[in-house]
Structure 1
Amino acid sequence: MTTELTAEAIAVPAPGRIDQEQVAALYRQLLTALGEDPDRDGLKDTPQRVARWWAEFLEHDPGRTDTTFAHETLHAGGDELVIVSGIVVYSLCEHHLQNMELTVAAGYRPRGRVLGLSKIARIARAHGHRLQLQERLMNGIAEDLLKVSGSPDVAVAVTGSHACMSARGVRAVGAVTTTVSVHGDFAPGGPFAGLFLDLAAKGASR
């Protein structure tokens, strides 16, 4: 069984194409409004560079990668856990367009088939290339893992530092935010409740 991992196949809304010429013109206006001279050395090419960056960031394609479930699990019903931690994802907070540096741990309990490990990182990074909220990014990753793994037992933890907290407002330098989504056997009361967080933390600290 194969599944093409594309923006359409997973729960990442595909953005429209970026009008780089319009974006560059708007950044030129912004520089003027900030009291800068957009024609001075150092700034004259900045609007075009920033427009290219927006296009690169928002038009990111997770890739048409064949996700093949070729390996049977060792036991019917599956006693194995697959957890990938330490996936670094960069995104932008949609409230202030400030940087979010996020570390993702994601896992699932295989139920008859396994997912290529790189696909978990691919899914996580696809959700980062958007104007985001940490909670929405986490839930999107969990939804995609539930879909492509075919397992009801999925867990995702995201720990992030937010420039909108550290560089403005409260200026809480060093503050981190952790969000967790657990399903099936990872949920409270399930046989693996708590185990995912322990294993994810150990993997992230290596």
Structure 2
Amino acid sequence: MSSTDLATRPAGAEAAPAQPCIDLARVECLFTELLVAFGEDPTREGLVGTPRRAAASWASFLSPAPADAACFPEPRLMGQMVLVDGVSVWSKCEHHLLPMHLTVAAAYLPGEEVLGLSKFGRIAQYYAGRLQVQERFTGQVADHLAQAVNSPDIAVHVEGQHLCMSMRGVRMEDARTTTLQARGRFEKDPVLSQQFLAIATRHRAA
């Protein structure tokens, strides 16, 4: 079973939030209190050190490296579609604090410069490393990509598996959510749009 949400948000709709200031010692204490509230003994074998490890894990997740975007001159490639798919990142749902696995495909039409290919993954990791919703994540990746390549001709397709839906509530393990941002020529040109979607969703037919 799958669900589809086609998100459309104008470029520049939301600025990236500043990196959080994390009080690691306080977070560790709170995890200790949480274990006690759940009726556990934080000093028992197996839980010794768990609050410290959990605090470090959250701090690492919420402190992703900045998504720098280096471009390189390639004036002869104007009009060619550049697409990177299979970008796989983990984020956390801000409604239940449970993980969500996001697979990203992103494309653009270069002008006189091309974006370094590894930057697609860095951009996705940066916006995944916070409490998120998939719809906002898709728009943020699209905004950043459009700014990085200095072009409105971009498209971002995201397919997500949400543990807040898979392991709780309705518990539908096969449910997937799809979000799409198509801008510029990807929005206006149906042939280009279909080419992008055919590649972005090719794994479904495998």
- Relative to the length of structure 1, the TM-score reads 0.87
**Which SS does the other structure have where 1:60 is aligned?**
coil
The separation in 1 between residues aligned to 2:204 and 2:139, in whole angstroms, is: 20
Question: What amino acid is the match of 2:52?
Answer: Q
**Equivalent residue for 1:68?**
71
Kindly report structure 1 stretches of 4+ aligned residues shifted beyond 3 Å.
188-191, 203-206
**Which SS does the other structure have where 1:170 is aligned?**
coil
Q: Cα 1:156–1:204, aligned 2, differ >3 Å: closer, same or farther?
A: farther
- Does 1:146 find its partner at 2:146? yes
Which segments of 5 or more consecutive residues in structure 2 lack a partner in the other structure?
1-13
**Equivalent residue for 1:109?**
109
What per-residue deviation string (whole Å, max 9, x for no partner) do you get for residues 154-205 of structure 1? 0000001000001111111111111100001111555512221112223787
**Equivalent residue for 2:92?**
92
**Equivalent residue for 2:9?**
none
The CA deviation at 1:18 is 1.0
**Equivalent residue for 1:186?**
186
The separation in 1 between residues aligned to 2:72 and 2:137, in whole angstroms, is: 25
The separation in 2 between residues aligned to 1:204 and 1:86, in whole angstroms, is: 12
**Equivalent residue for 1:40?**
44
- Relative to the length of structure 2, the TM-score reads 0.87
**Equivalent residue for 1:31?**
35
The separation in 2 between residues aligned to 1:172 and 1:68, in whole angstroms, is: 41
The separation in 2 between residues aligned to 1:176 and 1:31, in whole angstroms, is: 32
Question: What amino acid is the match of 1:72?
Answer: P
The CA deviation at 1:128 is 0.6
The separation in 1 between residues aligned to 2:143 and 2:69, in whole angstroms, is: 19
Residues 116-155 of structure 1 aligned to structure 2 (within 5 Å):
116-155=116-155
Q: For the Cα contact (< 8 Å) 1:185–1:191, is it kept in 2?
A: no
Q: Cα 1:79–1:70, aligned 2, differ >3 Å: closer, same or farther?
A: closer
Which segments of 5 or more consecutive residues in structure 1 lack a partner in the other structure?
1-9
**Which SS does the other structure have where 1:114 is aligned?**
strand
**Equivalent residue for 1:19?**
23
Identical amino acids, percent of aligned pairs: 45
What per-residue deviation string (whole Å, max 9, x for no partner) do you get for residues 126-179 of structure 1? 111000000111100000011010111000000010000011111111111111
Q: Which has the higher contact order (CA 8 A, sep 6+)?
A: 2
What per-residue deviation string (whole Å, max 9, x for no partner) do you get for residues 75-115 of structure 1? xxx22000000000100000000010110000001122111
User: Size of the alignment, in residue pairs?
Assistant: 193
Question: What amino acid is the match of 2:75?
Answer: E
The separation in 1 between residues aligned to 2:107 and 2:185, in whole angstroms, is: 11
The separation in 1 between residues aligned to 2:34 and 2:71, in whole angstroms, is: 47
The separation in 2 between residues aligned to 1:41 and 1:169, in whole angstroms, is: 32
The separation in 2 between residues aligned to 1:119 and 1:27, in whole angstroms, is: 34
The separation in 2 between residues aligned to 1:199 and 1:96, in whole angstroms, is: 32
The separation in 1 between residues aligned to 2:188 and 2:38, in whole angstroms, is: 51
The separation in 2 between residues aligned to 1:82 and 1:149, in whole angstroms, is: 11
**Superposition CA RMSD, Å:** 1.9
Q: For the Cα contact (< 8 Å) 1:18–1:54, is it kept in 2?
A: no
